[in-house]
Amino acid sequence: QLSGHQKMTESFLGQFREVYLPTAMRPLNKSLIKGDKWKDVDGAQERRRSFLYGFCKKYNSRKKLRTHLVHVVSRIYVEDRHKILYCEVPKAGCSNWKRVLMVLSGLATSAHNISHDDVHYGKHLKKLDSYDLKGIYTRLNTYTKTIFVRDPMERLVSAFRDKFEHPNNYYHPVFGKAIIKKYRQNANEEALKTGSGVKFKEFIQYLLDSHRPVGMDIHWEQVSKLCYPCLINYDFIGKFETLQEDANYFLRLVGAPAELRFPNFKDRHSSDERTNAEVVRQYLKELSKQERQLTYDFYYLDYLMFNYTSP
């Protein structure tokens, strides 16, 4: 099984083979950090940076970039005032991160009064792919680049609960109808018509199907394909599991206003229990052993890159 995973890693990383990786990690600018308050958070940060850099260096060779640069940076948000690049990973605190970026850029006075729709559909924030090539390269080389990630299974279950267990006028008709039609035997007319009531097992069948009836979606796409962590040298790697400490430390690093703190409210479905390891365990029980293994394999590279323990 280990050799099988090794082969899988090799094939996953085939797309990264012709990538130029700088010979040294860029040190974080900590000139604005005073005292020992952030010592533990900083130590964890340096370990994550070293781990990811070592992982990528092991599988990369210093050749030309094959994947088109504009595609590579298409999920990255830009905040020019504080020179921040933030790669959006859905279900890992991204809504509140976008609220914070809006406050930092002067588009809002507080993160707490920005609605979900304003965050995701307001088109207030610029993405890196909206700049010309010179603008992209300049920002990649001079701005502080950050990514926030989450345990892959937790992120997956969180996405399923959000999109399929609550009314949704996009995911039910677009994904739900196609999933029920292909994977549910003897589906009733109502389910086929509305696309509501997708079961977790059906969702996993769709996820693992090489001939999916509908394409992938950013909410359950692998982080390796959203943010290209082996192509872009991220300066700061935050984790959802330590979101508050990591985010607030990052805000101090980039010189954010002293009173700005990362919000800790749940963006939507606030009465629902947060998706945690125990919630994930209940959902995984619905799958066969083989389905659980294949789902883990699907996110194998994310587990490796960010040093998450296999479930």
pLDDT tier at 19 (50, 70, 90 boundaries)? very low
Q: pTM value?
A: 0.90
Q: What is the mean pLDDT of residues 66-88?
A: 92
pLDDT tens-digit map of 93-139: 999 999 999 999 998 888 888 877 787 777 789 999 999 999 999 99
Find tokens 């394409």 and name the residue.
215
Distances in whole angstroms, Cα of residue 177 to Cα of each of 20, 67, 100, 156: 43, 33, 35, 20
20 pLDDT higher than 50: no
Instruction: Out of 14-23, 33-42, 251-260, 300-309, pick the least confident.
Output: 14-23
More confident: 206 or 310: 206
Query: Can you give the residue ranges of every domain in the chain?
Result: 29-152+221-275+301-306
Residue 211 gets which letter from DSSP? Answer: T
Asked if 299 and 188 count as a contact pair (C-beta separation under 8 A), the reply is no
Check the CA dihedral 105-107-112-118 and report its sign.
Answer: negative
Q: Which residue has the tokens 């999916």?
A: 212
